[in-house]
């Protein structure tokens, strides 16, 4: 599900500036790896994720009982950003029941040309894949350490999720998604 213009352009610009600030503060960490260990003490992302306009969207899908258990930026540098292998978010979450959603807020325009997220259409209604259907990935070359075996993916069903700064994509934990290198 794509929702346009959830946050205003000024706040989207603050998101972009914050990622640049994180890049300057942590020059030895690639911006694709700005996640839990850094963000747990990041007041900006906490302020951002508690915004009413975002929580209202999540509430419509999963109800009032909302808990944040993880956050990260996947910020790809131009011509140097790593790909994100095909995966299901639920494979990383030991939750039962799997009544969760992923919320992707675009801080900048995300297009096919700069490696936007891609989803395999129809997989949102599938089961969570088992470990034998996954393979380990080299995190020097890929953002994530696990990906789905290529023979389990029908790339002809891939759909590019292009977003403008301020747009949000919400997806369930089962949809298979990833992105190319930037």
pLDDT for residue 29 = 86
pLDDT for residue 33 = 76
Tens-digit pLDDT string for the chain (182 aa): 999 999 999 999 999 999 999 999 999 988 887 876 767 788 998 899 899 999 999 999 999 999 888 888 888 878 888 999 999 998 888 888 888 999 999 999 999 999 999 999 999 888 877 778 888 988 888 888 889 998 889 999 999 999 999 999 999 999 999 999 98
13 burial via Cβ count (<10 Å: 0-12, 13-18, 19+): middle
pLDDT for residue 20 = 92
Domain that holds residue 155: 2-179
pLDDT for residue 55 = 96
pLDDT for residue 36 = 67
- The DSSP symbol for 9 reads H
Query: Sign of the C-alpha dihedral, residues 144, 127, 125, 48?
Result: negative
- The pTM assigned to this predicted structure is 0.89
pLDDT for residue 51 = 95
Tally the domains of the chain: 1
DSSP character string of 103-166: EEE-SS-B-GGGT-EEEETTGGGSPPPPGGGEEE--TTTSSSSEEE-GGG--GGGEEEE-B-TT
Residue in 88, 82, 106 with CA at minimum distance from that of residue 163: 106
| Torsion angle (degrees, nearest 10) of CA 33, 40, 128, 154 | -30
What CATH number did the domain enclosing 91 receive? Answer: 2.60.120.620
pLDDT for residue 146 = 86
Q: Give the strands of the sheet with 168-171, arranged side by side.
A: 2-3, 168-171, 102-105
């Amino acid at each position: 599900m794509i929702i346009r213009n959830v946050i205003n352009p000024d706040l989207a610009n603050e998101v972009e500036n914050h990622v640049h600030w994180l890049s300057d503060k942590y020059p030895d960490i690639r911006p694709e790896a700005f996640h839990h260990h850094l963000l747990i003490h990041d007041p900006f992302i906490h302020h951002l994720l508690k915004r009413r306009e975002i929580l209202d969207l999540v509430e419509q899908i999963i109800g009032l009982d909302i808990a944040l258990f993880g956050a990260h930026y996947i910020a790809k540098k131009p011509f140097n950003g790593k790909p994100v292998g095909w995966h299901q978010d639920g494979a990383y979450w030991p939750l039962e029941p799997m009544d969760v959603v992923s919320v992707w807020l675009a801080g900048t325009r995300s297009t096919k040309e700069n490696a936007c997220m891609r989803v395999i259409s129809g997989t949102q209604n599938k089961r969570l894949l088992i470990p034998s259907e996954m393979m380990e990935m080299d995190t020097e070359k890929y953002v994530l350490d696990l990906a789905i075996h290529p023979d389990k993916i029908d790339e002809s069903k891939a759909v590019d999720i292009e977003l403008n700064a301020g747009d949000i994509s919400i997806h369930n934990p089962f949809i298979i998604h990833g992105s190319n290198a930037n």
